[in-house]
Amino acid sequence: MILSITAFKKVLVIDDELGPRESLRILLKNDYEVHCVDRVEKGLALLDEYQPDVIIMDIRMPGMDGIEGLRRIRQVNPAVAVIMLTGFGALETAQEAIRHGANDYLKKPFDTKEILQVIARNIERCELQQRRLKAEQELNDLNQRLVGELEQKSHLATLGQASAEIVHDLRNPLSVVLGYVQLLAEDLKLAKEANASHSQEVDPLEYVEVIEKSARRCRELLDLWNNLGKSTSDHPEPVNVVSMLQDIKGEAMAMARKQKASIIFDLDCSPEVLIEADRLQIPRTIINLIDNALDALPATGGEIRVSAVCDDREVHLHIADNGEGIPEENLERIFEPYFTSKEKGKGTGLGLYISKRIIENHRGTITVSSKVDAGTTFSLRFPIHTHPLASTL
């Protein structure tokens, strides 16, 4: 019984003998589109243009024989069905053809019914193979695309954002380092010109101490981010609020002095008050907020007030400036990642996003109030640590 096939499938016959070639054309012309050539080289030249569904090819031909032709065909089209014809009935020749990728073989003179069955079967096999290869390719392309997108998103989420946060974190302490290096260089230059010790408002050795502290903070921040991918858990510890703010004060004063602004610390908290915090992250947050406040001040001058008030349950921190204020339409967006109202190149839009994330990770809250041309106040609240443990800060 002949298998069902789709009409007008393409058959390419390659045979140097006119008799078998014409017999196949007449036999197949009612069910297939048949094209006949008398040389392997001619058949190879038609592969791309004609795109046959099945090739019937004699093994023994002058010039390039069927075995070599089969090898070349498989290089161009691995899926097309190839049926080999041999007039010698040699089993070794047929086996060699199968080894080189032939789908089937027939002996000359061929049986009409047999060849129709063989062609129908191999066309159906070719269609299934082509559908399978197409499906595999589509699935592979889809998989590669999804993997690429996931890797890109993962990379951006973990490395890209972390890199941006590293840059943001290190900018402040490095700015302090550079500022103090410049001040120190100027004072040493004056001392050299005077060739003697002279009265100075600030001892250059104090500059060196601040430089050392800021450089150490850079190293600690790098260690923090280096370990971020190894463990996602926080390690909060009891931190003395007053000591923490006094430690921040030196860096904040240096930042304000460079801008010729004034900064006031008003600490109305008991020296024993503790909060549970990461000893790097919370100072980092406060420095970021002070840096934002400085950006809101005029090019020179202006005032920032950092205050701390404690009650029985919470510590309230406020960073207030008398700068330009935040327009009402921006207030709801200032904690969004990459949102910034600063000039291009002067802000990443990550500072407040990082600050909010850190504060919330410490069970705290942050709110903002602002009025254009009247200033801005960021208010932070943290629960007090009630266990009588010693602070490490």
| Sheet arrangement for strand 375-383 | 262-268, 303-310, 314-321, 375-383, 365-371
- Rounded distance, CA 262 to CA 264, Å? 7
Backbone angles phi, psi at 268, to 5 degrees: -105, 60
Q: How long, in residues, is the chain?
A: 393
Q: Mean of the pLDDT values across residues 311-318?
A: 93
- Rounded distance, CA 67 to CA 306, Å? 88
Confidence (pLDDT) at 79: 80
* 143 compared with 80, residue with greater pLDDT: 80
Q: With a cut of 60, say whether residue 220 has pLDDT above it.
A: no
Architecture of the domain made up of 9-139: 3-Layer(aba) Sandwich (3.40)
* 262 compared with 148, residue with greater pLDDT: 262
How much is the mean pLDDT over the chain? 77
For the domain made up of 234-383, give the CATH fold: Heat Shock Protein 90 (3.30.565)
Global pTM value = 0.45
- Rounded distance, CA 302 to CA 149, Å? 47
Work out the pLDDT band at 198, boundaries 50, 70, 90.
Answer: very low
Confidence (pLDDT) at 6: 43
Q: With a cut of 90, say whether residue 260 has pLDDT above it.
A: no
Q: Mean of the pLDDT values across residues 57-86?
A: 88
Single-letter code of the amino acid located at 128? L
Q: With a cut of 60, say whether residue 37 has pLDDT above it.
A: yes
Tokens 């080894």 locate to 99
Which tokens in the block code for residue 76?
């161009």
Q: With a cut of 50, say whether residue 234 has pLDDT above it.
A: yes
Q: Around 69, how many Cα atoms within 13 Å sit in the side-chain half-sphere? A: 29
Residue range(s) of every CATH 3.40.50.2300 domain in the chain:
9-139
Q: With a cut of 60, say whether residue 7 has pLDDT above it.
A: no
Backbone angles phi, psi at 339, to 5 degrees: -90, 125
Work out the pLDDT band at 346, boundaries 50, 70, 90.
Answer: low
Residue range(s) of every CATH 3.30.565.10 domain in the chain:
234-383
Which tokens in the block code for residue 228?
């971020």
Confidence (pLDDT) at 245: 94
Q: Mean of the pLDDT values across residues 164-173?
A: 60
Work out the pLDDT band at 367, boundaries 50, 70, 90.
Answer: very high
Q: With a cut of 80, say whether residue 129 has pLDDT above it.
A: no
